[in-house]
Amino acid sequence: MSAYDTLLAEAAGRPFAAIVGWPVGHSRSPALHGFWLKQHHIDGHYGRLPVKPMRAALEELVTFLKSTPNARGCNLTLPHKIEILPLLDRIDPVVKRVRHGIERPRQIADLVMPP
């Protein structure tokens, strides 16, 4: 079963988002976001997607997110935040200002897929 299949199974038809990185198994983001989804009675899922930092793997990620109706987006770890920029349909103006001098990578907006 692929990481994408695992995420879809965990989401069980609900809207979902995920933390994307390599490695990503150690991330506490799913627990944190899962807590707030429950706290606010939001029927959704936040999972993990281990994606190698390679262009082909990032292209597969973008294709998966765009073609999966329940996908709401993802958060990216470094170096994914930088390497995915050429693959995006649009880039937030904040990202454009900091992408050449990534001294504060947390300012990079999370990937949000277009509707």
- Residues recognised as catalytic: 81
Q: Which among 65, 66, 106, 64 has a CA at the least distance from the CA of 82?
A: 106
CB 97 within 8 A of CB 57: no
Q: Tell me 53's DSSP state.
A: S
Place of tokens 């109706």: 69
Measured distance CA(66)–CA(89) in Å, rounded? 11
